[in-house]
Amino acid sequence: MKTQEYGNKHKGYRRIIPSMTALLEFEAVARHNSFTLAAQELGVTQAAVSKQVKQLEETLGSQLFQRLHRGVRLTSEGQALYAVISDSLQKIASVFDRLSEGGNEQELVLSCTATFSQLRVMPRLGTLRTALPHVRLRLATQMFMGDLRNHDVDLLVRYGNGRWEDGTAVQLFEEEIFPVCSPDWLTRNSLPESLEGLYGADLLDADATTEGWMTWPTWFREAGGHPPKLRYSLRCHLYADTVQAALHGHGVALGWGRMVDHLLASGELVRLTDLVVKPREAYYLVVPHGRSTTPTILGLVDWLRDS
């Protein structure tokens, strides 16, 4: 009798989760927001994926997707299930990866913009081994702010207000923005003595993005100025290119303090004035829903903050 009770108790996972295949196919559909793309990834037909998801919905007694004209969208029940499955699969994949390589290191896939990668992470990689000797970092660089549901990442750096629906945000640091240039440019040009004096400088700018990236007109207004139509020496799509242009002496760029502090410390860039604008937004490390904020993740937060 006792043996029978033990058997019934410990075969419960199979009874509660009747199809692991259905869960895997559900995860693919949720990640792609598409039955077609999920089927292509899994190497099966769209009809097979649709059938598995339908059976899963019938088993749960809940609708997991809203079927739209183009694509699908998770329901609240679907979001809850996806958060748990996605986190579980990430953990399983991480263990497989570590065991297959025969090491004890933990790989963390960090998604961030090219600007953050090139100007904040790369110059400080040398200190990562000391701060977190068991962590191996893999960078997943995105053009703009990433989506944790659509990318195979563990963590994501974002600039904004800290309120996002796909994860828990831990603040890294606030920002302050001020004009910078190379020492070479400064030797060839007179030092602007006022805010108005900057209007006619060789301005370098980057395109505004959905994250609220500040451009020269916005900076001047926030600093209390009323700029006329500005003359740009160069405009770039990426902020990292604007910084490179400033380093080569082509003009004056907006220096985001946390991105260029190492260049100021080395003397490759200098501050032009004491004028500074402090935006309301900040940088955050976003942890996907369903994933624990482990001591390793908190260690990475400290490294990104203080290195």
pLDDT tens-digit readout, 81-97: 998 888 787 777 766 66
How far apart (Å, rounded) are the C-alpha atoms in residues 165 and 260?
30
Note whether residue 37 is domain-resident: yes
Q: Token pair 């040009």 is at which residue? A: 189
Check which CATH number belongs to the domain holding 261 and give it. 3.40.190.290
Return the beta strands (E) in 146-281 as ranges. Answer: 155-160, 167-174, 177-181, 203-206, 232-236, 253-256, 270-271
Same structural domain, 130 and 68: no
Same structural domain, 291 and 144: yes
Note whether residue 89 is domain-resident: no
Same structural domain, 161 and 134: yes
Largest separation between any pair of C-alpha atoms in the chain:
93
pLDDT at 3 over 80: no
For residue 73, the number of C-alpha atoms closer than 13 Å in the C-beta half-sphere is: 5
Note whether residue 277 is domain-resident: no
Same structural domain, 168 and 294: yes
Q: pTM (2 decimals)? A: 0.65
How far apart (Å, rounded) are the C-alpha atoms in residues 100 and 143?
32
Note whether residue 193 is domain-resident: yes
Check which CATH number belongs to the domain holding 155 and give it. 3.40.190.10
Same structural domain, 148 and 187: no
Note whether residue 119 is domain-resident: yes
Same structural domain, 140 and 205: no
Same structural domain, 232 and 217: yes
pLDDT band at 2 (very low <50, low <70, confident <90, very high): very low
The number of domains in the chain is: 3
How far apart (Å, rounded) are the C-alpha atoms in residues 191 and 175?
24
Same structural domain, 152 and 197: no
Note whether residue 212 is domain-resident: yes
Same structural domain, 181 and 267: yes
Note whether residue 94 is domain-resident: no
Where is the domain boundary, 46, 81, 116?
81
Note whether residue 86 is domain-resident: no
Same structural domain, 183 and 215: yes
**Domain coverage including residue 233:** 177-271
% of the chain with per-residue pLDDT over 70: 86
| Residue-wise pLDDT tens digits, 17-53 | 767 888 899 999 998 889 999 999 899 999 999 999 9
Return the beta strands (E) in 51-118 as ranges. Answer: 65-67, 72-74, 106-113
Residues 56-86, buried b or exposed e (16+ Cβ, 10 A)? bbeeeeeebbeeeeeebebeeebbebbbebb
| Residue-wise pLDDT tens digits, 153-194 | 788 999 988 888 878 899 999 999 999 999 999 999 988 878
Task: Give the pLDDT score at 266.
Answer: 96
Among 144-158, 250-264, 282-296, name the one with the lowest average pLDDT. Answer: 144-158
Same structural domain, 149 and 290: yes
Same structural domain, 188 and 161: no
